[in-house]
Structure 1
Amino acid sequence: MKNILVPLGSRKTAVSTLQYAIDFATVSGSKIFVVQAYGVPRIGASLKNVNDVLAKKGKMELAEIMEKVDIKNVDITKITIKGNILDSISVLEKELSIDLIIASAKPVTKDSTLYLGPITGSFVKKTDIPMIIVPKGFKFEPIERVMLGVRSGLLNHDNILDPLSHISKLFNSKISLIHIITPKNDPEDNVLHEDFKAIGDEIIYSENATVFHGVLEYLNQVNPNILCVIRNKRGFLNRLLESDSIKKEDFDSRIPLLVLKGNL
């Protein structure tokens, strides 16, 4: 994990999210690319003048955020881009060789019922890069315990678990794998792939209505520093993200969430 992308949104969440990324990078030795987007002028405005004002405002906001974090000698590159950051994400990933995205879970909205807003939700849907989604105000702590929640034991591609394995080696983490058997499981989903067996320091089987319920059942027992889920084509995360956002009643996490690309 050499290059981390940190897309910033609201200043209310940007500082804690960026600080989490910096603290993570002090362990991983990663470079950070922090990105702030600014708006596009409306038609009819003096495009050049308004664009210059918006660009200057975006740079000022980014500078204010940078002043509020402890950089800790981490190599940080600041980037401001015009327009919607979602339109630039694939280009940034390729040009900067990004291998991890760290973003905020808290949406920029007054709707307190949301766990994941449409911006971060769209990142999860559109990118194949592993993501760590950080709750508002969460302070970094060494990732000593990981809870990996899976419904299907199938792995149709190699290297799906590599990002988790890398994090585990960085922090010498213990991984508790919760294999959740739901009514939606096919028989083949109930058999764990050998890679799952190899990565799990302990394996717990749970019968529950959803992955979320299975995770909740063992959350206090495992007491993880991070929760990991895999985004599969038929998985619960893809179903929840049909509208790009996730309500807290469907899924919530008080700790960071690591999302891996799965069988898509």
Structure 2
Amino acid sequence: MKRILFPTDFSETATNAFVHALELAKIVEGELILLHTFELPVFDNQFFPENYMVIYESLELSNFDMFKDEIPKLRVIAEEHNLDKIKMTHRLMDGDLVYNITKAIKDDKIDYVVMGTAGASGWSAFFSGTNTGSVLTDIDIPLLSVPVDAKFKPIKTIGFTTRFRPKDKKALKQVLSIAKMANAEVKCLYVKTSKTDVSKDTIKKWEHDFESEPIEFFVITSDEVKETILDFILYKEIDLLTMLTYKRSFFEGLFHPSLTKKFANNFDVPILSIPIEE
């Protein structure tokens, strides 16, 4: 059974992502591990000689009480979406979020992580220093990041961008396995620029290798790569975009607010980041 880690601070952003985490668990026949982390403040105990531990204990208790109060609310959400049969367990951890996520991945043998992020206008911040962006660089398993405005809808079309590298093919096979479980199709895009180095034979080889799979290849000639990808996402009605994390710097530019301005009211596509070696 696949195991999905869902870190949450019980915010609106996280709660929205929770539904996506449940639906992913349903697709892959997995279970959820809910993680809430908190950081205790650092005190100099020479200024708190008598009540030093009392302060820490009260802070820990308040975090536990909040955690205990919020869990039933998530269970109600699961029931409302008829997903209450998904197995859920819980972890409450003190310390740095990224460290605790990395530790939980190892300890609980996690297969996927699902996190919420700020949405189209916040993609630049997402990649340059938010919690989700930090996790993206530190883990070696797929991460599903969900914009706060991305209400779940059945995944029928998965987008995949490629430059037809061997490492891309390995990631595409991962994406296809998810697509089959979701009964979805994959639309694979290559933006052919004036500096392209991909041969027609390479493209034909890929098409031949995947001809029996639920996948459609698109080769679009344009030097406006980022704009072309955004158009592709919108006009092909992509429900889930998959990206390779070795292309992170490229996607930083792709989701910059100035570029997504004209799509601000429509761009609410979750992104599945797949780690791959450079």
Within the candidate set 59, 66, 69, 2:74 is matched to 66
Asked if 1:26 corresponds to 2:26, the answer is: yes
Equivalent residues of 1:15, 1:68 under 8 A apart: no
Q: How does 1:56-135 map to 2 (within 5 A)?
A: 56-60=64-68, 62-63=70-71, 65-70=73-78, 71-106=83-118, 113-115=121-123, 116-117=125-126, 118-135=130-147
CA gap of 1:250–1:122, structure 2 versus 1, over 3 A, is farther
Aligned to 1:12: 12
Note the C-alpha offset of 1:136: 0.8
Output the CA distance in 2 between the equivalents of 1:179 and 1:188.
10
Aligned to 2:63: 55
Note the C-alpha offset of 1:217: 2.4
Equivalent residues of 2:64, 2:92 under 8 A apart: no
Q: How does 1:1-264 map to 2 (within 5 A)?
A: 2-9=2-9, 11-44=11-44, 46-47=52-53, 48-60=56-68, 62-63=70-71, 65-70=73-78, 71-106=83-118, 113-115=121-123, 116-117=125-126, 118-150=130-162, 152-156=163-167, 159-182=170-193, 187-188=197-198, 191-192=202-203, 194=205, 198=210, 201-209=215-223, 211-232=225-246, 235=247, 237-238=248-249, 247-249=256-258, 253-264=267-278
Give the residue type in structure 1 aligned to 2:258.
E
Which 10-residue stretch deviates more, 83-92 or 189-198?
A: 189-198
Give the residue type in structure 2 aligned to 1:125.
T
CA gap of 1:173–1:79, structure 2 versus 1, over 3 A, is same
CA gap of 1:69–1:222, structure 2 versus 1, over 3 A, is same
Higher Cα radius of gyration: 2
SS at match of 1:134: strand
Structure 2's unaligned 5+ residue stretches are none
Output the CA distance in 1 between the equivalents of 2:225 and 2:269.
16
Equivalent residues of 1:182, 1:207 under 8 A apart: yes
Structure 1's unaligned 5+ residue stretches are none
Equivalent residues of 2:147, 2:268 under 8 A apart: yes
Output the CA distance in 1 between the equivalents of 2:141 and 2:110.
8
Note the C-alpha offset of 1:179: 0.4
Give the residue type in structure 1 aligned to 2:2.
K
SS at match of 1:81: strand
Which 10-residue stretch deviates more, 207-216 or 20-29?
A: 207-216
How many pairs were matched up? 252
Equivalent residues of 1:231, 1:262 under 8 A apart: yes
SS at match of 2:99: helix
Give the residue type in structure 1 aligned to 2:22.
I
Output the CA distance in 1 between the equivalents of 2:168 and 2:143.
18
Output the CA distance in 2 between the equivalents of 1:189 and 1:89.
41
Query: What root-mean-square deviation, in Å, do the aligned CA atoms of Structure 1 and Structure 2 show?
Result: 3.0
SS at match of 1:32: strand
CA gap of 1:12–1:149, structure 2 versus 1, over 3 A, is same
Output the CA distance in 2 between the equivalents of 1:167 and 1:35.
24
Which 10-residue stretch deviates more, 218-227 or 112-121?
A: 112-121
Equivalent residues of 2:184, 2:214 under 8 A apart: no
Give the residue type in structure 2 aligned to 1:99.
D
Output the CA distance in 2 between the equivalents of 1:83 and 1:2.
26
Give the residue type in structure 2 aligned to 1:114.
G
Note the C-alpha offset of 1:28: 2.2
Q: TM-score, normalised by structure 2?
A: 0.77
Output the CA distance in 1 between the equivalents of 2:113 and 2:204.
27
Indicate the percent of aligned positions where both proteins have the same amino acid.
15
SS at match of 1:97: coil
Output the CA distance in 2 between the equivalents of 1:250 and 1:4.
32
Note the C-alpha offset of 1:168: 1.0
SS at match of 1:187: coil
Q: TM-score, normalised by structure 1?
A: 0.81
CA gap of 1:194–1:260, structure 2 versus 1, over 3 A, is farther
CA deviation map 1:20-45 (0-9, x unaligned): 21122223210101111112133136
